[in-house]
Amino acid sequence: MPFFGGVANSLSIYKNFHTMVASKAPAKDGTVMGQGPFDMKYFLSGALAGGICCGVTHGALTPVDVVKTRIQLDPTKYNTGFVGGFKTVIAEEGAGALLTGLGPTAQGYFIQGWFKFGGVEFFKINFTKMLGEQKAWENKTSIYLLSSAIAEFIADIFLCPYEACRIRLVSQPDYAEGMVGTATKLMAENGFVNAFYSGFVPILFKQVPYTMAKFAVQGNAADAIYGSLGSDPKSMSGAGNIGVSLASGVVAGVVAAIISHPADTLLSKINKAGAGGTGGMMSRLSNIAAEVGFINLCTVGLGARCIMIGTLTAGQFGVFDIVMGKPTPAPAPPKPPASPPKAAPSLRACTPTAHRYGRREEVPLPRSQPLRLS
């Protein structure tokens, strides 16, 4: 399968990473494949766009996240489905309860989006420089997968404390007043590591495969949509490209949600007071998994999460495209790598619509747009 083959190739690239540095010198003007330059301003723009798209979409979907988390934490009480969960929360706690955890959600995912989207661009471009144009062309899917995995790992270090606060507020609304009060009380009761990083392992198992699958599936879905319409990004209008971005984002979000849902359930439960008994993090996770059961880990709250992540992922790609701007052709075409593989898949991580989905273009990106290896 292309996705898993790409993962294997990514590991090969990583193993040979340092040996390639000396032999592959990047262009002195900061350009790659005739595109760029990719300087600090560029990386900061991509990081800011990523922070905005993640912070806005996650914050807007806080009510859905509240209901999803309640279903995962107490499936016996919230057993009337997604809509029924909304009604139960509103009837018992008022409509304002649906915004519980908005602060840590919006702030945490802004920071996570900053490092995720900015990191993907940083690692993708630097892997390309070190490999050289032809080698990068041949391994573009692997570069994309490896870049997204590394960037997500870094982003999760910053996200995990915010998620701990959010889940505690949602599961125990009267625990403390606001995010700062929750963080202060958690640390006083449990210490820094146990308070904020008891869910670090499940958040990695949730977020890293989710991010890798999200971008990989989204690119293939976009290609299929363009193919079914008999069009391509270059000939389609800006509004049409955004529409493809949103539609393919929904498909990618649902697939990624299914893949990462068991870890999301573990993350929700381990941040609930008393979950998993006493002992270390791995012991508590094992206790929770044994208590809940594999089927329930995979299915409880899945419907709500598919709605949430499908909408969220579509929104992220759409907002990122809008913030980064629609690419326009530059006057001179770039020189492509020698003899590119005819059926090589496109790498489209974190690029605006017209370049994320299209086949190989005969125009370079404008100076402010993300690197495209297809």
pLDDT digits (tens, 9 = 90+) for 242-253: 888 889 999 999
Cα–Cα separations (whole angstroms), residue 212 to 3, 102, 217: 9, 26, 9
What pLDDT sits at residue 293? 84
Band of the pLDDT at 372, cuts 50, 70, 90? low
Alpha-carbon span 367 to 45, nearest angstrom: 12
- Looking at the predicted structure, is the pLDDT value of residue 353 above 50? no
Q: Which of 350, 340, 45, 240 is nearest to 361 (CA)?
A: 340
What pLDDT sits at residue 18? 41
What rounded mean pLDDT belongs to the chain? 77
Band of the pLDDT at 369, cuts 50, 70, 90? low
Alpha-carbon span 61 to 67, nearest angstrom: 10
The dotted CATH code for 38-327+342-356 is 1.50.40.10
Band of the pLDDT at 370, cuts 50, 70, 90? low
Q: Using an 8 Å Cβ cutoff, are 208 and 149 in contact?
A: yes
pLDDT digits (tens, 9 = 90+) for 89-131: 999 989 988 998 898 999 999 999 999 989 988 998 888 888 8
Could you give the count of Cα atoms lying within 13 Å of 196 in the half-sphere of its Cβ? 20
Give me the residue spans of the domains in the chain: 38-327+342-356
Band of the pLDDT at 136, cuts 50, 70, 90? confident
Alpha-carbon span 197 to 157, nearest angstrom: 9
Band of the pLDDT at 367, cuts 50, 70, 90? very low
Band of the pLDDT at 356, cuts 50, 70, 90? very low
